[in-house]
Structure 1
Amino acid sequence: MSARLNSAQPYAVALFRIVVGLLFACHGAASLFGVLGGAAGSKGGTIDAGTWPGWYAAVIQLVCGSLVLLGLGTRAAAFLASGSMAYAYFNVHQSMGLFPMENGGEASAMFCWAFLLLVFTGSGALGLDRLFAGRRTADEQEPAAQKAPVAA
Structure 2
Amino acid sequence: MPSAKFEQPVLSLFRIVIGLLFACHGAVTLFGVLGGPHGQAPAAGQWPGWWAAVIQLIGGALVLIGLGTRTAALLCSGSMAYAYFVHHQPDGLFPMQNGGEGAVLFCWAFLLLAALGPGEWSVTALLNRPVPRRKEVSTHPNNA
TM-score strictly above 0.5: yes
2:46 to 40, 44, 51: 51
The aligned amino acid for 1:65 is G
Q: How many residues align?
A: 133
Post-superposition shift, 1:36? Answer: 1.6
In structure 2, the residue matched to 1:32 is 30
Post-superposition shift, 1:88? Answer: 0.5
Gap regions ≥5 residues in structure 2: 134-144
Identity percentage of aligned residues: 58
Q: Structure 1 length normalisation: TM-score?
A: 0.82
Q: Report if the CA contact (8 A) 1:72-1:127 is conserved.
A: yes
Greater helix percent: which structure?
Answer: 1
Quick one: distance in 2 between partners of 1:82 and 1:107?
12
Q: Report if the CA contact (8 A) 1:67-1:73 is conserved.
A: yes
The aligned amino acid for 1:88 is A
Quick one: distance in 1 between partners of 2:120 and 2:127?
12
Gap regions ≥5 residues in structure 1: 143-152
Quick one: distance in 1 between partners of 2:91 and 2:39?
25
Post-superposition shift, 1:44? Answer: 4.6
Q: Report if the CA contact (8 A) 1:14-1:125 is conserved.
A: yes
User: Which one has the largest radius of gyration?
Assistant: 2
RMSD: 1.6
